[in-house]
């Protein structure tokens, strides 16, 4: 086991004591906005660390993959994201600029369906960035208006996530449900499902950034 893995496990033990949970992703450099993340899993009394540091997209995907692994083993009680997953970000990471979000900001802010917490507050430079909830809305609109392939893939992942969170339908059925909605109805649906089923903004950003 490498020094990196040993240190990651020791940190995960602290988080488990403070926050509970069984799957942990956290920055290895607290004060670095662009820090890579460690991912550690606790299972049957032992800790297992990913061998290498990951970016936030990879870390988020690693957490979801670990949860999927539990589900495949029939451990549904351990599969609950809210109870078991802990994706930690310090203030430095929360304040980090997002290249993807900055690239989209102008067209995003002009969309009438984006409101309130869908966009961040304007900075001194006049920049506004889309938030995780706004990203879901924007992706939905890009699917409906432009049939954008990446946006379509992202929405498919969102439907899978809702199915995992016990929405009550499989991803394909959720997709069909949304297809039958008008834009206004679908946007309100996104607001409601985001509020009820999403527990960490970084999770959504990680899924989006992983679709390259």
Report the C-alpha gap between 45 and 181 in whole angstroms.
47
Asked whether 208 and 133 are in contact (CB, 8 A), the reply is no
> Strand, helix or coil at 42?
strand
Structural domain of 21 = 3-93
Of 59, 93, 127, the domain-final residue: 93
Query: pLDDT for 117-135, tens place per residue?
Result: 776 654 444 445 677 888 8
Mean pLDDT across the chain: 79
Model pLDDT, residue 48 = 93
- 88 and 66 in a single domain? The answer is yes
Of 93, 110, 135, the domain-final residue: 93
**Reduced DSSP (H G I as helix, E B as strand, rest coil) percent helix, strand, coil of the chain, to 5:** 60, 10, 30
Query: pLDDT for 167-192, tens place per residue?
Result: 999 999 999 999 999 988 999 999 99
Take residue 66 and report the two structure tokens written for it. 């670990």
> What dihedral angle (degrees, nearest 10) is formed by the CA atoms of 168, 23, 65, 102?
90
């Amino acid at each position: 086991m490498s020094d990196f893995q040993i240190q990651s496990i020791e940190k995960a033990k602290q988080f488990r004591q403070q926050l509970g949970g069984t799957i942990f992703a956290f920055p290895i450099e607290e004060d670095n906005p662009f820090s890579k993340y460690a991912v550690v899993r606790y299972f049957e009394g032992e800790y297992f660390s990913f061998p290498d540091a990951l970016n936030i997209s990879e870390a988020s995907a690693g957490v979801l993959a670990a949860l999927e692994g539990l589900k495949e083993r029939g451990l549904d009680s351990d599969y609950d994201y809210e109870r078991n997953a802990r994706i930690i970000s310090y203030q430095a990471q929360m304040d980090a600029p997002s290249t993807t979000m900055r690239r989209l900001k102008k067209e995003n802010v002009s969309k009438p369906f984006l409101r309130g917490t869908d966009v961040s507050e304007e900075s001194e430079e006049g920049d506004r960035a889309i938030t995780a909830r706004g990203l879901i809305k924007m992706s939905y609109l890009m699917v409906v208006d432009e049939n954008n392939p990446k946006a379509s893939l992202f929405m498919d992942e969102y439907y899978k996530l809702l199915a995992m969170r016990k929405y009550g339908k499989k991803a394909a059925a959720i997709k069909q449900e949304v297809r039958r909605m008008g834009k206004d109805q679908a946007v309100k649906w996104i607001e409601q499902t985001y509020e009820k089923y999403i527990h960490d903004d970084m999770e959504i950003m990680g899924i989006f950034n992983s679709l390259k």
